[in-house]
Structure 1
Amino acid sequence: MTSQMAILSRARKTLLKTLNHHNNPFKASISTFTFLSQEAQLAHPRLPPPSPTPLPPNPASGSPLYNYFLWTDLYFIYIRMLQTGKESMPDDESYELVVGMLFLTDQIDAALRYVDLTLKSGYMLSMRVFAECVRSCVNKGRLAALVSIIERCKTMDQNKALSPSWNMCIFIADIAMQEDNSKLAFYALEFMARWIARGENARGPVLLSVDEGLVVSALGTAGRTYSCTLLDASWAILRRSLRQKKAPQPESYLAKIYVDAALGNLQRAFSTLHEFETAYRNSPKEAEEDIFSPFTSLHPLVMASSKNGFETLHTVG
């Protein structure tokens, strides 16, 4: 412990000397970080002897991004210093700060490598880092990397309770469905189901509900990607959101019938159709003719049923 504190102290002093040596123009903003306290040597710097690890000159004078690159470089030095001792390895806060700086500077590959190191070291992934993962992976079209991070968190005791905010869950779901990423859409719905359960079990229950339009979109993604897992999750969270107070909208029933038919599960498709007819048997005649039309709304089921002629119909008889 003593050697680790000594290393931390030397790292901190070196960083401060480096800042003072170059009369850093971003000194005021850097001093607001919690890692550096407001000390007199920052406010009234004295030129120290040359640092063994000086910062390179600013190649893009006036660019605000240099502030971020500066801090990234400083913390790489900090990490290397920590690793000079066998018993002193970077802690979770060190990883979090480096990852945050890398994401802010759009160095996504390097950031993802440090996220990987964070998880391999057995540390908990903070919600701040996860939010940055979501933002960067979405902006860079790296949804597969985001799925991989979520899957790894689910296998770790430290991270299996990962729970993004409700609004972030909706954002992830929207992006996943736009890109027809059934795995990511499923995980978004799974996160939302946790929120619904948590709200129901709280003192003074908070009854959260998933928008039915979002569920219809999820069912569409399930149909296009042939994902039975996403189909079941979508229908389950819709049922839980409605809390048996009303039936799903016709669009939801029709979307589920379409997915069942696309997956070749005609028995489930006709079972859903029967439930649909029961729920809307008292609809006005014109509306009933429209929503139960074999030529429009139920056309996918008709086509699936006639795929192999009477043999197919026999399986659902």
Structure 2
Amino acid sequence: MPLFLQPVFQERIWGGRALEAFHYDIPNDHTGECWGISAHPNGPNTIINGVHQGETLETVWNTDRALFGNPKEEKFPLLTKILDANDKLSVQVHPDNAYAQAHEGEFGKTECWYILDAKEDAEIIYGVNATDQQTLNEMIDHEQFDALFKTVKVQAGDFFYVPAGTVHAIGEGILILETQQSSDTTYRIYDYNRKDANGNQRVLHLEESKAVIDLTSGSPNTTPVHKEIQGQQFTQFVSNSFFTVERWVIDGQLTYEKPQAYCLVSVVEGSGSVTTGKGTYEIKKGSHFILTTEDQDVTFEGNMTLITSYV
């Protein structure tokens, strides 16, 4: 039986109300993030069906490893979010595993973005123009941010791989699905001198940022692999040691061959059903679930777009 998850919502200074389009009852006008598949202690999902109903994903991961093929990872490795950038996010960078484990006690944060929607001329910040550490430090110290940050135009359907160490920011008017390592460590470099609800500017992390920025970080785009499988449209966006992320555009029926013991699935458009040996379950835009080792003979049926991921 798939593990269906109750989303966790995070208020953000840059959030809005766009997540309502996913059939969510969001808490306020500054809802920035839906944590759709999360075992992170800052926002663990609750299972809403089956024998584990009422338990958190973190608890199930720790107590019923057989559901996930008895993986070697101590902690659930991935986190799936939908972000509503009603306003631009801070310019930031995330540490890699080695730095994060030494200084923060958790995974590093390599991530990737699937652009669900974007206003006309929307853009992201990706990378820096500095090519050596001294230049980088001087440009940060002297706040030469217009010259330092690189920008890229985006539109719906684009995909961007954002490895740890890459300076980045999601621009205003962009809705994305993010697949990332299960980490909540962010170092802010610049935040447009914004103030929070209490009139305080948010904390910056300039020295940490200088320490983890990767000046060799290259193009934001991967090379997607497109195929037609069983008459359905399949795209693999990225596949590496952190995660594999794929898109299925289904119009009809697909017999899904699970590539790993467990797979994460988010419905980002449309509706339909998923059938396993345990039964048939209705799914729609905004549904998030995990196919576990119990889920054999998986069939999707309907008219919908899925983003799937696995380690």
Asked if Structure 1 and Structure 2 have the same fold, meaning a TM-score greater than 0.5 normalized by the shorter chain, the answer is no
Which has the larger Rg? Answer: 1
For normalisation by structure 1, the TM-score amounts to: 0.21
Higher percent of residues as helix:
1
More strand by share: 2
Q: Which has the higher contact order (CA 8 A, sep 6+)?
A: 2
TM-score by length of 2: 0.21
